[in-house]
Amino acid sequence: MKDIYILGIESSCDETSAAIVKNGREEIATIISSQIEIHKDYGGVVPEIASREHVKHISIVLEECLEKAHMSMDDIDAIAITYGPGLIGSLLVGLEAAKTLSFVYNKPLIPIHHIAGHIYANSLVKEMKFPLLAVVVSGGHTELIEMKDHYKFEKLGGTLDDAIGECYDKVARVMDLEYPGGPKVDKLALKGKNTYKLPIPLRDDSYNFSFSGLKSAVINLVHNEEQRGNEINKEDLASSFQTVAVTSIINKVKKAIVERNIKYVIVAGGVAANHGLRTAMEELTKELNVELSIPPMKYCTDNATMIAAAGYYAYKDGRKADLTLNSKSQDTLK
Ligand code: KG4
Ligand code: ZN
């Protein structure tokens, strides 16, 4: 069978990235230009700055990617592009680049939902087995997705308000930790104890999550202690917050595994790097005798490798777009 080479392009938030993947499983080359240092000064991603930075970097990133792969556009079978969800101005930069390449080189254009990308990051390390449960935890998403086959997604539930990563970043902010604060809270949590009482959100019968109440509870706790002149033990607060956040996710994952008869679980998105969540997922899947896969960090945070990997399966599924394809800041994974 002929090898299929997909060029992936990702620009949905603050990473400009291009990658080439062979047959959906083998990374040939990846280039990522991150804007974290720029947005740090503002305590979060500033959409207008993000899109301007993408404009500056997209051509260079694409050129470097082809160069690194020792390939030209003639060697590429199709172009996979994140069309959404994400920051609209940022998405448009990648999309226009992808459309231009598709038009000039006469290559099929494959629209990729960003979450499909996070899920397919897994196929770069392990073959996916079905029925699988994808636990998608990132700065913008907290979702449980069931897949019965390649490119057959069923959303079981998701966050009703803040995403888990967003909650981590806001909690970090009130603790005076630099953006993105998630990894810093995680690091502190490892040294602390679960001493502060915080509520476990949404203990209901759904597969949904809610993190805004937990975020407010931490912010209120910090402000109240400050007003009383008490010093916060940051390590203990991080540990208490992490315990509750992770428990809330694990409870719903457990329910999904049991009720949906899941045999294979993958964790995807930036928060998959979290030590508390990784440990809890390992324990849970061991207890329920289910296989677990968590891709290495470089595939968990935003990158075009995962978009190119998803692109292969979308290509096989016949999912092509024409040049009228538009970006969407929000869209359901289908
Ligand atoms: O997947 P990602 O790179 O971007 C989105 O698509 O949103 O995820 C970034 C998010 C940020 O909120 C960051 O704070 C969080 O992932 N994150 C973590 C950890 N590492 C990254 N949150 C908790 N613990 C970590 N170790
Ligand atoms: Zn992402």
Domain count, the chain: 2
Residue 37 is predicted with a pLDDT of 82
> What sign for the dihedral angle of Cα 267, 293, 83, 298?
positive
As a whole number, mean pLDDT of residues 259-283 equals 95
State the average pLDDT for the chain: 95
> Cα–Cα distance between 279 and 285 in angstroms, integer?
10
Residue 43 has pLDDT above 80, yes or no: no
Task: Say which residues have a Cβ less than 8 Å from residue 67's Cβ, sequence separation at least 6.
Answer: none
- Judged by its nearest atom, the ligand closest to the C-alpha of residue 249 is 1
Task: Please say whether the beta carbons of 157 and 209 come within 8 A.
Answer: yes
Burial (CB count <10 Å: 0-12, 13-18, 19+), residue 38: middle
Share of residues in the chain with pLDDT > 70 (%): 100
In this structure, how many other beta carbons lie within 10 angstroms of the beta carbon of residue 107? 18
Q: Are residues 290 and 247 in the same domain?
A: yes
User: What is the mean pLDDT of the segment spanning 97-108?
Assistant: 98
Ligand 2 centroid, distance to 114 Cα (angstroms): 6
Residues 158 and 277 in one domain: yes
| Total residues belonging to the chain | 334
What atom in ligand 1 is closest to the CA of residue 300? 1
Is 134 in the same domain as 281? yes
Instruction: List beta partners, residue 133.
Output: 146, 265
Pairwise pLDDT comparison (156 vs 47), residue with the higher score:
156
| 333 in any annotated domain | no
The mean pLDDT of 157-166, rounded to a whole number, is 96
pLDDT number for residue 193: 97
Instruction: Looking at the CA of residue 179, tell me the nearest atom of ligand 1.
Output: 14
Nearest atom in ligand 1 to 169's CA: 14
Residue 321 lies in a domain: no
pLDDT recorded at residue 297: 86
Residue 332 in tokens: 């359901």
Q: How far away, in angstroms, is 163 Cα from ligand 1 center?
A: 10
274 and 237 co-located in one domain = yes
Same-domain pairing of 110 and 137: no
224 located within any domain? yes
Question: What is the CA(15)–ligand 2 centre distance, in A?
Answer: 9
Give the number of the ligand closest to the Cα of residue 186.
1
Q: What is the pLDDT of residue 1?
A: 82
Six-digit token string for 62: 């694409």
Q: Are residues 165 and 275 in the same domain?
A: yes
pLDDT at position 135 is 98
Q: Are 91 and 84 in contact (CB under 8 A)?
A: yes
> Is 326 inside any structural domain?
no
Residue 23 Rama label (left phi>0; alpha psi -120 to 50; beta): left
Residue 120 CA to residue 306 CA, distance in Å, equals: 6
* Residues in the ligand 1 pocket, defined by CB under 6 Å: 13, 138-140, 165, 168-169, 180, 182-183, 186, 269-271, 273-274, 301-302
**Mind listing the pLDDT tens digit for each residue in 295-319?**
998 998 899 999 999 999 999 999 9
Q: Please, what is the Cα angle at 135 between 250 and 185, to 5 degrees?
A: 65
Q: How confident is the model at residue 156 (pLDDT cuts 50, 70, 90)?
A: very high
Instruction: Tell which atom from ligand 1 comes closest to the C-alpha of 165.
Output: 12
Whether residue 59 is found in the same domain as residue 40: yes
* Host domain of residue 77: 5-120+299-316
Which ranges of the chain does DSSP label H, i.e. alpha helix? 36-40, 47-69, 88-105, 114-120, 164-174, 182-191, 212-227, 234-260, 275-287, 297-300, 305-316
Long-range contacts of 123-128 (CB under 8 A, 24+ apart): 123/24, 123/25, 123/309, 123/313, 124/21, 124/25, 124/26, 124/27, 124/295, 124/299, 124/305, 124/306, 124/309, 125/293, 125/295, 125/296, 125/299, 126/293, 127/25, 128/264, 128/266
Q: Whose CA is nearest to atom 19 of ligand 1?
A: 183
Q: How far is the CA of 197 from the centre of ligand 2 (A)?
A: 31
Does 15 share its domain with 156?
Answer: no
Per-residue pLDDT at 126: 92
